[in-house]
Amino acid sequence: MDKSEEKLENNEKKKRKRTQVGPKRWKITMWVIISLLSIMAIVAGSGAYYVWSKLQPTPKGEVTQVTIKRGMSANSVADTLEENGIIKNAFVFSYYLQLKDEGSRFQAGLYELAPGMDKSDIIAKLNAGETVEAETIKFTIPEGFTLLQIADKLAADGIVDKAKFLELAESDRVWGDAESVRAVADQKNLHKRLEGYLFPETYQLKKESTEEEIITRMLVETDRKLGTLPDDWQNVLEASGKSLHQILTIASLVEREVVVDEERALVAGVIMNRLAEPMRLQIDATVQYALDTPKERLFHKDLEIDSPYNTYKVDGLPPGPIASPSLASIEAALFPEKTDYLYYVTKKDGTQTHLFAKTYKEHLRNIEKSNQSAQ
């Protein structure tokens, strides 16, 4: 056999070999592909089943109270729900919320949720804010109460620890978002630091509210009430040349001196006139405050008490408010009635109104008239 024939024979052998091996290799390749696809399908199926199973309701159980705090993220809410046994898996639930574009509308509060609830019911309840009404405490602070009277009342009602309440009220600190309290004058002779800044109102707070939370709520209420004054009140305050602290001080004097609303601006005007003269205010209510324990009737010796709050002995305003003024008294201090009056005396006829005078001589006649009206 020559070389050419040998070469042809070898080529034929190779061709037969390729023909024999080709189908076998193709079968192997197809088997590998099918195997990989099967494994992927199993993995995907297992993953899908895992997610599905973790989104199914938990076994039914007793109703649980769950607190969703303000500012919590959807992930944090999911963690809280898992901790309380409401859902099976916080991680899976969080991704479900993202997929459904849920979680951003969840509302803070105390919820009653039960194991066994469907995920859609849980989400709907959190979105709707179907919270449980928490137990509350309710108390009323009368207008004109001093800080000490407020502490006594809240302590008597079992709402605060008096010593802790007073200690906090003396602390120089930031009170959350409360703004007006920042006007407290930095004076060492303040009798009570927060005097006049705890607004007299009826309050309703959560039952377990702390002394700090109660004080903060009352300070914020002062801000809210100031926000209801005429729109130009801050411009008026600036034009008056007085600070908010001084205006609240004047308002507290009005509050303790006046019973009839129509006279608040008149008395505020007298105070402003005496400050402008200048004349000592000589207001009995400041002496009562300096005594701490109010008296039905002040005696001459009481007017000699050594106190920066005794306006019979010191010039100008006392260091700070002497009570919690009402909104009407604050407005009167900001918008006093302009008159020439420098004096006033309480009528003794039971009307609780006053006689006003421009001169001391006229004031003496009014005192005589007041005494005669009591007969």
pLDDT at 136: 86
Say yes or no to pLDDT of 154 above 90: yes
| CA angle (358 as vertex; 357, 359 as ends), nearest 5 | 95
Q: Which two tokens stand for residue 119?
A: 């995920």
Percent share of the chain, pLDDT over 90:
65
Across the range 61-71, mean pLDDT stands at: 89
pLDDT at 11: 59
User: Own/partner pairs for 151-155, CB < 8 Å, 24+ apart?
Assistant: 154/214
**CATH 3.30.1490.480, the chain: domain bounds:** 64-128
Across the range 248-265, mean pLDDT stands at: 96
pLDDT at 337: 97
Going 253 to 259 to 265 to 269, the CA torsion angle's sign is negative
Mean confidence (pLDDT) of the chain: 88
pLDDT at 198: 98
64-128 belongs to which CATH class? Answer: alpha beta
At residue 52 the predicted structure's pLDDT band, cuts being 50, 70 and 90, is confident
**HSE-up of 141 (CA within 13 Å, CB side)?**
31
DSSP assignment of 234-289? HHHHHHHT--HHHHHHHHHHHHHH--SGGGHHHHHHHHHHHHHTT-----HHHHHH
Measured CA to CA, the distance from residue 122 to residue 68 in angstroms comes to: 12
pLDDT at 10: 59
Cβ atoms 333, 208 nearer than 8 A: no
pLDDT in tens, 165-181: 999 999 988 998 999 99
Measured CA to CA, the distance from residue 190 to residue 289 in angstroms comes to: 12
- Which residue in 108, 97, 149 sits closest to 131, CA to CA? 108
Measured CA to CA, the distance from residue 33 to residue 287 in angstroms comes to: 98
Measured CA to CA, the distance from residue 312 to residue 369 in angstroms comes to: 23
pLDDT at 46: 57
Q: Which two tokens stand for residue 184?
A: 């407290």
Say yes or no to pLDDT of 375 above 70: no
22-36, 113-127, 238-252, range with the lowest pLDDT: 22-36
pLDDT in tens, 174-211: 998 999 999 997 777 899 999 999 999 999 998 889 99
- What residue has token string 């449980």? 132
Say yes or no to pLDDT of 225 above 90: yes
pLDDT in tens, 321-363: 999 999 999 999 999 999 999 999 999 888 999 999 999 999 9
pLDDT in tens, 263-285: 999 999 999 999 999 999 999 99
Beta pairing partners, 205: 137
Say yes or no to pLDDT of 62 above 60: yes
133-142, 250-259, 338-347, range with the lowest pLDDT: 133-142
Helix, strand, or coil (residue 71): coil
